[in-house]
Structure 1
């Protein structure tokens, strides 16, 4: 995939600056690092901890031979490679960046190496004989001076300039101030910066790839990554794009550009999710047997996926109790857990709500306590990344005593999970059908499928799959109200839509030709 993208850039006569990582940030789950690294309880990410460097060496041993021939020195399009990302803001190991540099050089990388840091971390992230570049939201003369002191006079490159922050569930949508953006761009050009907008095209956090931020509290990211990009999520031109196209054109001597027609979109007719399966009814049809454990295990500790643990999605814990009382998570639910007694919903445990009262009346000999935990995305940056294990990360207490004898189901909801052949256990759905459950709808599309946007108005919270592909999360707390559906994900004829709804819905699915990402 990576080499195909580089080849395409070469075909259209573009140069490539490649960010090889291993950490790339980009607001991804764990900054793009694999979650199985955290199976090591002593893991120290982005350091010379031997468990981390062993994984990095395997990664580079696989990656570098695939891209080495695309370097400029080999008549390829790669003119520079960025080592790591914003390490000056992390800065846990002074030996780490020299190690990354040597790891690349020793494997035959000859092209120019770069670092990229915020103004605050610029000097800490700088590596001798490596070209330093900037990531900033505002331009300051002081930063320019810091850069000059680190590597002497020379060109200044702004590899990431962004005027906005990402959107998180349950928060107002961040807006873009074009006047502020233009003022900053003029200032950078005045200082003779080279400039790269972030993002030029944001796109979509399909599936569970989006991470989380921590601006004083945990903030899981919305599915759309279209926050202030010059091209919209579906590739359309924004007013900002048109303004900057005109702004740059005279200086660059670029001829007028004829805009291509935007990809056509369609508003498909509303449809109803006519069938459902309760999550509880699907458990006996899991591909993998549940894991039995004395105490809770985190996602990363599970022996699934060839021993690499569970990366994303949901995880279900079951244990038997014989009495009610106070259920205390002690902060061990990561990130959001729904609690059930048998099939009866009791409440939610998360960082804010760590205690629930379980009713003590009407108990039979025993009840099954179920805790369905959602991984809402690991932190994409910050030193707390080392603690980003998900699921139940420690004991859960009932009346002060730790619960024991768990049955644990991995619900990663990968494509094979959704596409697997189930026996005919779908039931007709009705208006008051509640989750957690899978709901099925069929969308009929003509001979030329087009992009569209899906609206789950009236639904509460969950995940959508189209023809087995994970479209992403939805949540009625906003700000995002529609999900982008690429036309290539659809096919002529019937298309299967499966919605995993955690709570309740109206069963109706709507489509529109415009995105609604909040206000």
Structure 2
């Protein structure tokens, strides 16, 4: 039997099985899409004329604790790749270990930061030992899905945008060897923006470029670096991501199609990032910091051709018409859209204060000095990764409380459980009322998302990372509660002592209500938190963390996919930090609020 000849990059165009081949690809992240919708999203990609799927692999989800691996349910990577194969889509796998992706710490697990000397994305032994252990579990799961074994994986990306980081000349060689020694035999490639290309060379590895508009000489610079090799835009940015307190970014459909047309006319292969963005559920959003820290929102709509909730957009329709001309066979019919429904408003029936909920959290940890969430002795010695951490200590006086920028990232401050103010990366001083009595000072600190790109990766410890001073005297003697709001915590609260909403409600606190689905099958919907009634918090439905809401926008709704609903009773729990009127609304479609063209936003020119 003749050996299958995989993707080759040995001339000005790719070949696959010896025949000319052009990558018409798009990115969909399995971890941002409910498993019940994987098939739907991939079929819509196929119907648009794409022949290749690309996906990242998030290390922090697959190894949430050192040595504890999860490849089940929504993290069943093998099932996702096998589904692509069934639908006749090729796969470019991007296993990292760093992925960026607007994902917390770029996909690196936070327990790495328990090592005070950690140097991420380098050959520092503490990092490479962890990477090697992870790859020992990951790569055997994907090696048999390579093209040479009859699978759909035709290429594997070595790390991600390392040319822009470039801290260790030996690091990329280490990652390449780690792949090859564990059985990766398909085409290897790197991915960088134009500036990063200058530092991204690796023998035997194809360079590819990331861009949104064709700047003067960008493609030519890539072509000059590797003559007689095919051109691949590994990330063609179809839109952009959003941060809290800013505008929703759009990239006009006509502008996108014009660039894609030029790239294809130039003979380049292309992968749209994103084809379908999906949702950054839970606490997994990242952040940017180019002088100012800005956490990203939960929606990852990205203004992509396929919307966050799987609808066709004008970009999709224009792209399909274009890609028809590059497909030799007629495109599949468009799969039908999922129905959506604006359910009747839900009135919260019960509430529980934050202080009462502590009975269902792990026992508090005593620490004389401030301690970061990553260094808490919880989760089998792996620390706390996400969510909130409550720090409490006693004070003898009032005066000036100064965080010294050691709060990461945002803290609600209480004196004897009475709200006093907020300290964050912008506000670092707060006046504490004077009293002669000993009082309890409480700081509810939220990890708003670790930076996922740039120089700041190694400084992403969260919670209290240093001294907090009252009248220039460091506070000591903390009692620390881990409040990462894991399913076990919510399950423990279920049978707890909830109070009726007819009693006085207290924030921060949890609010519980029931969504009754009694007519037909559940449908997609959007939870809308009225800005006059809620301020900031998190929503859980049937135990699923939908993500964060915040009145500052631009995101106004949280996507609730039908696969996470059931006929009959659906439990909704809202954790609200500051204000609640006890009602949530539903909508069929999201409102994106104020918008800005991504090409006109100064931040976007940095990348």
Confirm or deny a common fold (TM above 0.5).
yes
Partner of 1:355: 429
Partner of 1:8: 83
Partner of 1:322: 396
- Asked whether the equivalents of residues 122 and 167 of structure 2 are also in contact (C-alpha less than 8 Å), the reply is yes
Partner of 2:132: 57
Partner of 1:210: 285
Query: CA separation of 1:431/1:161 partners in 2, compared to 1, >3 Å: closer, same or farther?
Result: farther
SS at match of 1:225: coil
Structure 1 residue 450 and structure 2 residue 523: aligned? yes
- Asked whether the equivalents of residues 169 and 221 of structure 1 are also in contact (C-alpha less than 8 Å), the reply is yes
Distance 1:483 1:20 in 2: 28
Task: Select the residue among 124, 139, 142 that pairs with 1:67.
Answer: 142
SS at match of 2:250: coil
Partner of 1:123: 198
TM-score, normalised with respect to structure 1 = 0.97
1:223-302 to structure 2, matched below 5 A, reads 223-255=298-330, 257-286=332-361, 288-302=362-376
Task: Select the residue among 97, 102, 107 that pairs with 1:27.
Answer: 102
Query: CA separation of 1:201/1:311 partners in 2, compared to 1, >3 Å: closer, same or farther?
Result: same
- Asked whether the equivalents of residues 161 and 196 of structure 2 are also in contact (C-alpha less than 8 Å), the reply is yes
Q: Which runs of 4+ in 1 moved over 4 A?
A: 421-424
1:39-438 to structure 2, matched below 5 A, reads 39-255=114-330, 257-286=332-361, 288-361=362-435, 363-364=436-437, 366-430=438-502, 433-438=505-510
- Asked whether the equivalents of residues 203 and 226 of structure 1 are also in contact (C-alpha less than 8 Å), the reply is yes
TM-score, normalised with respect to structure 2 = 0.83
- Asked whether the equivalents of residues 329 and 397 of structure 1 are also in contact (C-alpha less than 8 Å), the reply is yes
CA offset digits 1:96-134 (Å, max 9, x no partner):
001111111111111111100001101201211101111
Structure 1 residue 516 and structure 2 residue 588: aligned? no
Task: Select the residue among 537, 562, 566 that pairs with 1:491.
Answer: 566
Query: CA separation of 1:490/1:333 partners in 2, compared to 1, >3 Å: closer, same or farther?
Result: same
Distance 2:269 2:144 in 1: 27
Distance 2:494 2:251 in 1: 47
Q: State the Cα distance separating 1:421 from its structure 2 match.
A: 4.8
Partner of 2:541: 466
CA offset digits 1:266-289 (Å, max 9, x no partner):
111111112100000111232x21
Distance 1:69 1:163 in 2: 32
Distance 1:123 1:419 in 2: 51
Q: How much is the aligned-residue C-alpha RMSD, in angstroms?
A: 1.4
Aligned residues: 516
CA offset digits 1:29-87 (Å, max 9, x no partner):
00101011111111110000010000010011111111111111112111110010000
